[in-house]
Amino acid sequence: MPAFRASFLLRSASALAVVALASGPVLAQQQDPGFFIPGGQRPAQPQPQQPRPAQPAQQQRPAQAPARPNTQAPAPLPPGQQPPDAVIGIVDVPEIQRVSTAFNQVRDEIERRRQRLNDDLQREQNNWREQQQQLANQRATLPPDQLRERERTLQDRITDSQRIFRERSRAIEQAAQQALQEIEQALGGVIRQVAASRKVNLVLPRPLVIFNDPPFDLTEEVAQQFNRVLRSVTMPPDATGGAEAPAAQAPARPAAPAPAPAAQQRR
């Protein structure tokens, strides 16, 4: 190799080494070692891709603002009559019920009817259990057809009794509601009557009032007038007729043999 060409290659390699150190790893990766081989061909470099023209952004329509509700104030009404000054009265309804003869009469009658219903139901349930126990004891001795017939009879009796007791309970509740409505209507009329006599135009129940002077309390006067107006309430009779289910027929016992005549006994 001539000295000129060797020195030229050394200088070129030194210069490229300096450029490679300055350019960093990017240049070293892009450099092809075949370029320094004597007589070698320079590899074809890839053509840079032409940048695509930027597409114009689609124009977005501006969002429509939501329709505002109509906040326009309504037209003012013509001036009306000013309410009078409040004259307040206080009434304790539970206290009036406690001393009311009509209310106590209704309460006692409803309690008696409910107690009678519970007693009848308890008695009927005991009869059911007794009949069921008798059928259980006779299960081994009775024919299957007769056993099924008695079981069906007992089940029908239980079903009818339950229906009757439900009707009795419903009748008691309806009688209580009717009596209480009558008491409530009468009490409302007495409260208005006492309030009008005292020039009271606003009556409040005592549980809503934290403090009041005694002159505001109308309870005692209302209670006395209420006992004069309504002393008792007529209630419908208790529907106990036919309420109790008929007692189930006990299994027929074999009749005892008749005693032998005296002549036969001597023999």
pLDDT at 62: 57
pLDDT of residue 140: 85
SS (H, E, C) the chain: CCHHHHHHHHHHHHHHHHHHHHHCHHHHHHCCHHHHCCCCCCCCCCCCCCCCCCCCCCCCCCCCCCCCCCCCCCCCCCCCCCCCCCCEEEECHHHHHHHCHHHHHHHHHHHHHHHHHHHHHHHHHHHHHHHHHHHHHCCCCCCHHHHHHHHHHHHHHHHHHHHHHHHHHHHHHHHHHHHHHHHHHHHHHHHHHHHHHCCCCEEEEHHHCCCCCHHHECHHHHHHHHHHHCCCCCCCCCCCCCCCCCCCCCCCCCCCCCCCCHHHHHC
C-alpha neighbours within 13 Å on the C-beta side of residue 257: 3
Place of tokens 């007529």: 234
Number of C-beta neighbours around residue 187 at 10 A: 23
Distance, in Å, from the CA atom of 221 to the CA atom of 226, rounded to the nearest integer, reads: 9
Tokens standing for residue 19: 């450029």
List the chain pLDDT tens, one digit each, 267 residues: 444 444 444 444 444 443 344 444 443 444 444 433 444 444 455 555 555 655 555 555 655 656 666 678 888 889 888 889 999 999 999 999 999 999 999 999 999 999 999 999 999 999 999 999 998 888 888 898 998 999 999 999 999 999 999 999 999 999 999 999 999 999 999 999 999 999 999 999 999 999 999 999 999 999 999 999 999 999 988 876 444 444 333 333 333 344 444 444 443
Place of tokens 């009468």: 186
Question: In angstroms, what is the C-alpha Rg of the chain?
Answer: 55
Residue 238's pLDDT is what? 84
What pTM did the predictor assign?
0.58
Q: What is the largest CA-CA distance in the chain?
A: 177
